[in-house]
Amino acid sequence: MIYKTVKRIIDVTGSAALLAAGALPMAAVAALVRIDSPGPAIFRQTRLGLGGKPFTMYKFRSMQVGAEHTGSGVYSRRGDPRVTRVGAILRKTSVDELPQLVNILKGDMSFIGPRPVLTYHPWPFEEYTEEQKKRFSVRPGVTGWAQVNGRKTVMWDERLKYDVEYAENLSWRFDLKILKSTVVDILSARGNENEGKTVTGQRSGSDA
């Protein structure tokens, strides 16, 4: 499919260019993270990617080391004391996502696609319905259709419907629509904090 081939070319050239141009600013952010809170600047976490295969996703660390084993788990909520001072700013501006440019360059992710989910949350891969598994037919993205339709304020069943809708209707027009909405969301810091439980029923896990 020409769309997917060209999209991959754009992902590779775009991520490489942004990594080169942003090397110094990203190094400065990494230094601030380490100065503000002891520990590594980069947070690594296993997520499910294309075809449901696990990969390691990178982010600037925005919480205290070991925070995923305390409090409410890997997800934070408004006012979570585990979030560092620098981390709060990184999250509000979405700068914490910049290391995912490396994931894009490696082929783990794309600029636009369903956000990569944890291996166990909202539920394990084998517990997704066949319809929901369609979201794994495309590379996960830094931003996606679900992210510009409520992001962390939307229940997971609804997020997955948005993901499937994207996977079934791939087009440049769709990607541009998501990109434009993402810019608006970043500038307004809309939907970037968890407000409460977003998984219900027997398959529920940690809040997202």
Q: What pLDDT is attached to residue 204?
A: 37
Cα(105)–Cα(98) distance, rounded to whole angstroms? 12
Indicate the pTM of the whole model. 0.86
Structure confidence at residue 154 as a pLDDT band (50, 70, 90): confident
Region 158-177: what's the mean pLDDT? 97
| Mean local confidence (pLDDT), 57-62 | 96
